[in-house]
Amino acid sequence: MIGPAAAQKLLPDIALPPSTPKPCSANTVPAIRSRAPTTPSTNLITSCPFDSLHPMPTSKLVPVDFAVPAGLRTEVFVLEPLTVRHNDLDYAAWMSSIEHIRQTPGFSDGKWPWPMSLEENAGDLARHDRDFGDRAGFTYTVLDPATTDVIGCLYIYPSKRDGYDADVHSWVRADRAALDKPLYELVSGWLAEAWPFTNPDYAPR
């Protein structure tokens, strides 16, 4: 497997323009419990009823002049920004692996996952996509490079704890459990080499 520095050269950085968050309504974002982590209520946008692994952030996670990585590619993993177009495969991946994900380091509090509908999952993915465009949080789907099937996910959001500058979680499907540690090691190196964080909070394997 090639390292994060070499792998990163295969995909360009993208300087994302700020986007305007869409209003929350029954027609745009379902009132669901998202997968993003909880923080004190003073940091939440209360107009949208998310109660999740990562709440709706209100500030940018990275400097405005930072070129956000467009993704990462190795012989084992492809990471690309998670969007609604991944909905069916993302939904199948985590719904088949709920108990496995709950046992993954960083998910043991049981706040996510839990069963939801495919439509609710699409609303969740749309919110992550908006966070990415707003530079407030970055979610990458993890794909099998040979099949392009979704095999996991990576979340980079504001830290929930003092002393850390980012909150990072990742999971892989139950039938790809052996890839959990390799993904952790790849992402840890990527965070150190390609991101501006100095002390991300990422549960070790």
Instruction: Give the model's pLDDT for residue 195.
Output: 98
The CATH code for residues 4-9+33-202 is 3.40.630
Q: Sign of torsion, CA 69 112 203 36?
A: positive
In the predicted structure, residue 145 carries a pLDDT above the cut 90:
yes
**Site of tokens 């669901």:** 32
pLDDT tier, 53 (very low <50, low <70, confident <90, very high otherwise): low
Domain residue ranges in the chain: 4-9+33-202
In the predicted structure, residue 131 carries a pLDDT above the cut 80:
yes
Q: Where are the alpha helices (DSSP H) in the chain?
A: 4-8, 87-95, 98-102, 118-133, 180-194
- Among residues of the chain, what percentage have pLDDT more than 70? 72
Three-class SS state of 128: helix
Q: How many CB atoms lie within 10 A of CB 25?
A: 11
Q: ∠ CA 174-175-178 to the nearest 5 degrees?
A: 85
Rounded to the nearest angstrom, the gap between the alpha carbon of residue 113 and the centroid of all alpha carbons in its chain is 13
Residues 6+ apart with CB under 8 A from 139: 81, 82, 128, 131, 132, 153, 154, 155, 156
Mean pLDDT (the chain) is 81
pTM: 0.75
Of 31-35, 71-75, 118-122, 191-195, which range is least confident? 31-35
